[in-house]
Amino acid sequence: KSKSRSGSDSKKEPAVSKNGSTENIPAQTFTFRELAAATKNFRPECLLGEGGFGHVYKGRLESTGQVVAVKQLDRNGLQGNREFLVEVLMLSLLHHPNLVNLIGYCADGDQRLLVYEFMPLGSLEDHLHDLPPDKEPLDWNTRMKIAAGAAKGLEYLHDK
């Protein structure tokens, strides 16, 4: 079983405020074993993408059944454990409609993983680049709405 930073069982639902917000809920801690099980041992068919910081896999948490995106960070470019945990704490306190929420993390041994909410419609890159021939590009109005939303998310981060 994973525990949140408060020591409560991860199977519990997060506390929700009167307005429906889950702000100020600490990130859950997960074991590497839990996240390996969620991603079928990081199988290639679960791979959603990769970038400069590592690989992202689709997974399902056994404890709750929640579908998540698990980012396995590249161990070569890792900061120290203290810096990683400070970053996790900061990310867990940031909530905005235009930002993907951090659910939890794993810091087992030298493994560093971040667990985010899964975005079923894919990434922005999926909708802007390398579209299949049968898919229409996003229209200008939609692109402007996306740009405005991204700007609002960046403004929120900048002001924090």
Model confidence over 28-61: pLDDT tens digits?
999 999 999 999 999 999 999 987 788 999 999 9
Tokens of 65: 């059944």
1 is in an annotated binding site: no
3-class secondary structure, 70: strand
Q: How many CB atoms lie within 10 A of CB 79?
A: 12
Query: 121-143 as b/e, with b when 16 or more CB fall inside 10 Å?
Result: eeeeeeeeeeeeeeeeeeeeeee
3-class secondary structure, 129: coil
Q: What is the mean pLDDT of the chain?
A: 83
Amino acid at 52: G
Cα 50 vs. chain centroid, distance in angstroms? 13
Question: What is the residue extent of each domain of the chain?
Answer: 1-120, 121-160
- 139 neighbors 128 (Cβ within 8 angstroms): no
- Quickly list H helices, the chain: 32-38, 81-93, 124-128, 140-159
- 132 neighbors 65 (Cβ within 8 angstroms): no
Query: 30-48 as b/e, with b when 16 or more CB fall inside 10 Å?
Result: bebebbbebbeebeeebeb
Scan for tokens 């996240």, then name that residue.
35
Domain 1-120: CATH superfamily is Phosphorylase Kinase; domain 1 (3.30.200.20)
Please tell me the pTM assigned to this model. 0.77
Q: What is the pLDDT of residues 102-125, one digit of tens each?
A: 999 999 988 999 999 999 998 888
- Position 78 scores a pLDDT of 57
